[in-house]
Structure 1
Amino acid sequence: MLTHISPDGVAPAQGYSHAVVGEGRLVVISGQIALDEKGNLVGEGDPAAQARQVFENLKRCLEAGGATFADVAKLTFYVTDVAFLPAIRVARDAHVDVARPPAGTAVQVAALFRPDLLLEVEALAVLPW
């Protein structure tokens, strides 16, 4: 079980939790990109389509580790342009409890490992013992 914390003296979070506390087994999901099961890019030049594929890939990885998005304590977003964040949030919000979202960090990067990739997202989940 995760506890979402909004500490006193810290500006209110919008779309993420400042702190999430959990006890149990850690599931670490590598950064996921917008490749389908055959390795083909989904949504060239389209951040919304890429975000949807990324979150589907995260879902599959979480399931393989015995977790769901309800177990995710933290998401880290790497984007080539912060202007993509609204589209990414739509994809994220289709999977997480928006009333109790995971902790999150968004970082704009100069590039990802392929020039056609617009975002990469990694996850940390906590499962009960």
Structure 2
Amino acid sequence: MRTMTPTHNTPALTHIAAPEGVAPGTGYTHVVMGTGRLIAVSGQVAFDADGKVVGENDPAAQARQVFENLRRCLTAAGAGFENVVKLTFYVTDVAHLPAIREARDQHIDTHHPPASTAVQVAALFRPELLLEVEALALLPV
């Protein structure tokens, strides 16, 4: 299935949810392509503006903070979640994914979600952190 989703703030993107011979994903698109200016946002964790961890032992609170940090980073680049073509999730426990998806779904177009990868890791750089998310976005030229 291919869909084009251009808006005034985004380049024309093609979403291929299920390429031939590939099972459809749940909550992500297998392929998102377009042309424009690439923005890479480093992995964001649940730090507030003062560098303090938000939501220790609370994956939902950490996910909300991570997506707020992503929003701020995208805004600094003149972009928004509508421009995100790829999200990469690093989680210390895949059992946290439902809470992470809930926070994510408050920001993305769930009908045309970005490509995504989720990886369970043994640990992040601080033991109280439960997830890290990085983003790739595409702005019109």
Deviations 1:83-129 (A, max 9, x none): 00000000000000000000000000000000000000000000010
Identical-pair percentage: 71
- Provide the aligned C-alpha RMSD in A: 0.5
Deviations 1:33-80 (A, max 9, x none): 000001111000000000000000000000001110000000000000
Match of 1:15 in 2: 27
Matches within 5 A, 1:63-78: 63-78=75-90
Amino acid at match of 1:59: R
Match of 1:85 in 2: 97
- Cα distance in 1, alignment partners of residues 94 and 77 from structure 2: 30
Amino acid at match of 1:31: G
- Cα distance in 1, alignment partners of residues 122 and 32 from structure 2: 29
Match of 1:120 in 2: 132
Higher RCO by CA contacts (8 Å cutoff, separation 6 or greater)? 1
Matches within 5 A, 1:39-118: 39-118=51-130
- Cα distance in 2, alignment partners of residues 72 and 19 from structure 1: 12
- 1:3 aligned to 2:10? no
What stretches of structure 1 of length at least 5 have no aligned partner?
A: none
What stretches of structure 2 of length at least 5 have no aligned partner?
A: 1-10
- Cα distance in 2, alignment partners of residues 85 and 64 from structure 1: 27
SS for the counterpart of 2:64 is helix
TM-score normalized by the length of structure 2: 0.90
List 4+ stretches of structure 1 deviating above 2 A: none
Q: CA deviation at 1:13?
A: 1.1
Amino acid at match of 1:60: R
How many pairs were matched up? 129
Q: CA deviation at 1:22?
A: 1.3
- Cα distance in 2, alignment partners of residues 94 and 120 from structure 1: 17
- Cα distance in 2, alignment partners of residues 127 and 57 from structure 1: 19
